[in-house]
Amino acid sequence: MQPILLTPGPLTTSERTRSAMLSDWGSWDGEFNRLTASVCGDLLAIAGGEGTHACVPLQGSGTFAVEAALGTFVPRNGKVLVPSNGAYADRIIRILEVLGREVRVIEHREDEPLDVSRVAAALSSDPAITHVALVHCETGTGVLNALDEVARTVANHGRTLVVDAMSSFAAVAIDVSITPIDVLIAASGKCLEGVPGMGFVIASKANLSAASGNSHSLALDLHDQWGYMQRTGQWRYTPPTHVVAALRSAIDQFVEEGGQPARGTRYRMQCGELVSGMRQLGFRTLLADDVQSPIIVTFLAPDHPAYSFPELYRRVRDSGFILYPGKLTRIETFRIGCIGAITVQDIARAVGAVGDALNAMGIRLGATS
């Protein structure tokens, strides 16, 4: 029996999604081109971008799409403000440094949401800033940042907003027709519950049209990818055909479930079950409940001489569940994801497996609140 992946992606997919990969597709065939077009059209509709934005798919993981977006939409003389409260904002900073784009960073603690007033102050004081890059849900900790407030602040200052919505898209409400987002980045293997291998960028047509010549890369040039698809209906280079087919099936299931409101509700229920159960076992969460996303939860390692994450991981895996190590550097933590084609009952069984592992390790913790 396959273990359940309690991670922020790759995640557990449905049998129906996996079955969609059993057929082979010709990358230039008209039927596959129509499949791609249908996926992009539905992704655009989920984001509320019909008419104003375009969806540009890209081979590779979500980080490929993040680098492609930064390289395509930030001109070489641009300057990017990055409010950082975690590992994925730090990754954006690293990408920008490698690309040779100027960066200004607003540092936050990893357990606090972004301070929108600090973003506004930076934009007011530094006219050289052309773009703001925001991570909506920091999956290094699970903190959910204030997308709407940041977006309106950036728009009011006349700058361009690039949003890494990798772990929030399709689970948390995002509507670019309401919230002024210029560039939105996500991927197949997250809350859409597809398999990994395809990123996508939903960008305003105005920004796409103005992006010619910005990119540092041939393969990661979203302007060129968009233009080629507009002309031919095809991907420029070999597409991840099976990933696209799986995503088509996953989106169908997403719609059948009730779209973002229903998926978000299920994830919140799973998150609630997880947090409640783990606190009963004696674990403490890194984040306060009011900033906790329903995507992934970071737990503090117990202060007990018998505790070892590798041992906990091994025992829980033997029970059929895969956990995720912590992403923090200063304190020891581990993470448990709430997303994927799983149920509240699966989460309850996972918590039971953690409890059994603690007992086997000789660890007794008092319940926390």
Report residue 359's pLDDT band, with 50, 70 and 90 as the boundaries.
very high
Query: In the predicted model, is pLDDT for residue 364 greater than 80?
Result: yes
Report residue 326's pLDDT band, with 50, 70 and 90 as the boundaries.
confident
pLDDT number for residue 360 = 96
User: What would the mean pLDDT of 336-361 be, rounded to a whole number?
Assistant: 97
pLDDT number for residue 211 = 97
Q: Which residues pair with 82 in a beta bridge?
A: 105
Task: Kindly state the tokens that stand for 5.
Answer: 């992946």
Helix or strand holding residue 133 (H, E)? strand 131-135
Q: What whole-number percentage of the chain has pLDDT above 70? A: 99
Distance CA 236, CA 217 (A): 14
pLDDT tens-digit series, residues 13-60 = 999 999 999 999 999 999 999 999 999 999 999 999 999 999 999 999
Query: In the predicted model, is pLDDT for residue 278 greater than 90?
Result: yes
User: Which alpha helices (H) appear in 48-99, and where do they start and end?
Assistant: 62-73, 87-99
The pTM (predicted TM-score) of the whole model is: 0.95
- Report, at the CATH architecture level, how domain 16-256 is classified: 3-Layer(aba) Sandwich (3.40)
pLDDT number for residue 369 = 64
Give yes or no for a cis peptide into 83 (omega within 30° of 0): no
Query: In the predicted model, is pLDDT for residue 296 greater than 90?
Result: yes
pLDDT number for residue 327 = 79
Question: Quick check: 38 and 198 in contact, CB under 8 A?
Answer: no
For 49, residues 6+ apart whose C-beta sits below 8 A from its C-beta are 55, 176, 177, 184, 202, 204
> Domain spans of the chain?
16-256, 259-361
User: What would the mean pLDDT of 4-13 be, rounded to a whole number?
Assistant: 93
Q: Which residues pair with 199 in a beta bridge?
A: 58, 187
Query: In the predicted model, is pLDDT for residue 234 greater than 70?
Result: yes
Q: What average pLDDT does the structure give for the chain?
A: 96
Query: In the predicted model, is pLDDT for residue 208 greater than 80?
Result: yes
Distance CA 180, CA 279 (A): 38
CATH number of 259-361: 3.90.1150.10
User: What would the mean pLDDT of 352-365 be, rounded to a whole number?
Assistant: 95
pLDDT tens-digit series, residues 258-274 = 999 999 999 999 999 99
Task: Kindly state the tokens that stand for 64.
Answer: 């490929």
Distance CA 313, CA 329 (A): 19
Helix or strand holding residue 137 (H, E)? strand 137-138
Half-sphere exposure of 158 (CA within 13 A, CB side): 4
